Amino acid sequence: MQRIASLIAFGFLGVASYGQVIITGGAPQSFQYCYPSDVDTLFGYASAGPESMFLHFCAGQVENFNDHVRVYDGSDDMAPLLFESQGNADVTDLIVISTGPNILIQVISDDSLDCQNQGYVPLLWSVSVDGVAPCALGVEEAGDVRFDLFPNPADQVLSIRPRYTDGDLRIELRDLSGRMVPCEVRSTGVGWELHTGDLANGEYVVTISGSERVASLKAVVLH
């Protein structure tokens, strides 16, 4: 069941801003973040007009109490607080709607457990000005095969972490024309790493094939 976050007027001391993504009408934009330890990261979004922003967390976990996801009703973290995770490590199906054309996500972690090393589900969200929308990038399920990609966009390495498997899995990387793209793949014990440093900037499709199931996700390489 989806949860609607209510408005809570509360502010926090400011931190460095990392810019904004302008969201226009049409297809929603999706984003994924598998956070490391000891970070304070901001993701800012603004509509091209006066419309409110619709933020939908399609998946994501953070460490209980020690790590936090906060959403602000404005362009910086001095704006009113719309949502803060407190003791609830799973933000899946959370919906937050701004009162104006700006919304800001803040992810804070301490120096202990984190997504990249402890296997928490990466945060995956969509942003739209046309209503609540599903996420189009990052986490997808097809039968018994389900996996996460991070970081996405990737520079030198794209990590793949399967959530559930149905036996031995095969990894393929293709461009948008369907052509197989050679890429070094290394096992990490809990997943794989695709070494993307030699790939051209652009969009690719990562496919995991099981004995009876196939799942594909779009990945972006950006140097």
Q: 12 near 80, Cβ under 8 Å?
A: no
Q: What contacts 24+ positions apart, CB below 8 Å, involve 152-155?
A: 152/32, 152/219, 152/220, 153/219, 153/220, 153/221, 153/222, 154/194, 154/196, 154/219, 154/220, 154/221, 154/222, 155/196, 155/197, 155/221, 155/222, 155/223
pTM greater than 0.85 (yes/no): no
**Mind listing the pLDDT tens digit for each residue in 141-157?**
434 446 778 888 888 99
Q: Cα 12 vs. chain centroid, distance in angstroms?
A: 23
Does 65 or 193 have the greater pLDDT score?
193
Residue with tokens 């995956």: 124
Q: Is 202 helix (H, G, I), strand (E, B) or coil?
A: strand
Mean pLDDT for 87-97 is 78
Residues 34, 115: contact at Cβ < 8 Å?
yes
Asked if residue 147 lies in contact with residue 173, where contact means CB atoms within 8 angstroms, the answer is no
* Chain-centroid distance, C-alpha 150: 8
What domains lie within the chain, and their CATH numbers? 3-128 (2.60.120.290), 139-221 (2.60.40.10)
Over the chain, what is the mean pLDDT?
75
**How far is residue 129's CA from residue 25's CA, in Å, rounded to a whole number?**
6
Element (H, E) at 184: strand 184-187
pLDDT for the residue 170: 79
- Provide the pLDDT for residue 87: 66
